[in-house]
C-alpha cells in the first residue's frame, strides 16, 4: 500500500477482564476501499469496530484513522515516546469523523426521518436548522427516502429505518463508515434495499468496513475480505481467496457452513 491507509490497525489487543478478545490485530484499509469482516460469533468483530471508533478503549496497540492516532496523544520525551489519553471532547471530535451503523437502527422514535438525520449536525456541529434540514433531505434522497422524510420510525419498514440510519451517519460527512451486521435484523425481502444503498455508497468512493454474513455482497463489493477467529485475523485477501478458496482449517470450516 503506497498511499497512507484510511484505517491502520497495528498490534491491537483488547481485554475484557481476563478475556483476551482481540489478540494482536493488524489490518489496513486504503482510502475508498471496502473491507468485509467475517468470522464466527464471539470472534471479536464488533469489538474491533468499536475499538476503531473508540466506543471501546484498546488495551494495547495503535489505531490510526486517516493518519490520526485515535484516543491517544504521543509525546516524545527524552527520546522516549509517552502516550496520553485524549480528553473526552477530543475523542468525541475524532469519533464524529466516523459513521457507524448497527444491526438495530437506534433511531429516535419521537423524531421524524428528516429530524433524525438533522440531529447530530444541529447538536454536535451547531449547524443552523434550515441548513441542516436541506442537507438531511439530500442525504435522504441519496438513500431513496426523500418521500418518507416526515414519517416517524414506527411508520417505516425495517429496511427504510436502516436506510435512515445510514443517511443519519452520512449527515456528519464521515471519512469512514463502519457497519456492524446492518442487515441481520431485517426480514429477507428488505435486505436487498439496504445492501443496494451500501453498494452505491461504496461506488461513490466511501471507505467502509462492513461486518456481514452476506457472501454475495462481499464477493461483489469487497476489495478485501478478512476472516477473524479467536480475536486474530486468520485470512485477509480477495473474496475469491478468503471465501472461495480458504486455506486455514478454521476458515474452511466456517465458509463450508456459510456457503
Ligand X SMILES: Nc1ncnc2c1ncn2[C@@H]1O[C@H](COP(=O)(O)OP(=O)(O)OP(=O)(O)O)[C@@H](O)[C@H]1O
Tell me which residues touch ligand X (CB under 6 A). 16, 19, 21, 39, 41-47
The entry of Mg ion, ligand X, none near residue 44 (CB within 5 to 8 angstroms by kind) is: ligand X
Contact string 48-87 vs Mg ion (x = CB under 5 A): ----------------------------------------
Q: What is the nearest approach in angstroms of ligand X to the Cβ of residue 2? A: 31
Compare residues 160 and 162 and give the one whose CB is closer to ligand X: 162
- The burial class, CB within 10 Å (0-12 / 13-18 / 19+), for 246 is buried
Compare residues 45 and 168 and give the one whose CB is closer to Mg ion: 45
The 3-state secondary structure of 192-247, one letter per residue: HHHHHHHHHHHHCCCCEEEECCCHHHHHHHCCEEEEEECCEEEEEECHHHHHHCCC
Applying CB under 5 A, which of residues 46, 116, 139, 160 lies at the interface with Mg ion? 46
> Please, what is the angle between helix 158-170 and helix 188-203, to 10°?
20
Compare residues 47 and 161 and give the one whose CB is closer to ligand X: 47
Q: What is the nearest approach in angstroms of ligand X to the Cβ of residue 77? A: 33
Compare residues 21 and 143 and give the one whose CB is closer to ligand X: 21
Q: Locate cell 449536525: which residue?
A: 121
Cα–Cα distance between 116 and 81 in angstroms, integer? 42
Amino acid at each position: 500500500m503506497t498511499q497512507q491507509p484510511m484505517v491502520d490497525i497495528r498490534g491491537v489487543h483488547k481485554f475484557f477482564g481476563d478475556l483476551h478478545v482481540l489478540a494482536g490485530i493488524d489490518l489496513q484499509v486504503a482510502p475508498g476501499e471496502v473491507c468485509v469482516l467475517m468470522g464466527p460469533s464471539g470472534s471479536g468483530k464488533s469489538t474491533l469496530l468499536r475499538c476503531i471508533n473508540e466506543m471501546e478503549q484498546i488495551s494495547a496497540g495503535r489505531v490510526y484513522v486517516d493518519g490520526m492516532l485515535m484516543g491517544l496523544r504521543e509525546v516524545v520525551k527524552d527520546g522516549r515516546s509517552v502516550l496520553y489519553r485524549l480528553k473526552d471532547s477530543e475523542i468525541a471530535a475524532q469519533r464524529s469523523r466516523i459513521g457507524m451503523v448497527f444491526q438495530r437502527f437506534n433511531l429516535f422514535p419521537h423524531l421524524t426521518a428528516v429530524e433524525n438525520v438533522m440531529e447530530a449536525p444541529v447538536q454536535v456541529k451547531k449547524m443552523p436548522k434550515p441548513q441542516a434540514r436541506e442537507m438531511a433531505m439530500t442525504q435522504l434522497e441519496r438513500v431513496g427516502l426523500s418521500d418518507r422524510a416526515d414519517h416517524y420510525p414506527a411508520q417505516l419498514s425495517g429496511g427504510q429505518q436502516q436506510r435512515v440510519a445510514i443517511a443519519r451517519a452520512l449527515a456528519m460527512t464521515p471519512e469512514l463508515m463502519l457497519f456492524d451486521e446492518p442487515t441481520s435484523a431485517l426480514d429477507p425481502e428488505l435486505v436487498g434495499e439496504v445492501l443496494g444503498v451500501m453498494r452505491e455508497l461504496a461506488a461513490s468512493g466511501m471507505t467502509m468496513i462492513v461486518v456481514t454474513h452476506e457472501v454475495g455482497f462481499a464477493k461483489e463489493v469487497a476489495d478485501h475480505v478478512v476472516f477473524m477467529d479467536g480475536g486474530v485475523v486468520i485470512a485477509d485477501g480477495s473474496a475469491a481467496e478468503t471465501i472461495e478458496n480458504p486455506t486455514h482449517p478454521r476458515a474452511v470450516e466456517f465458509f463450508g457452513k456459510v456457503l
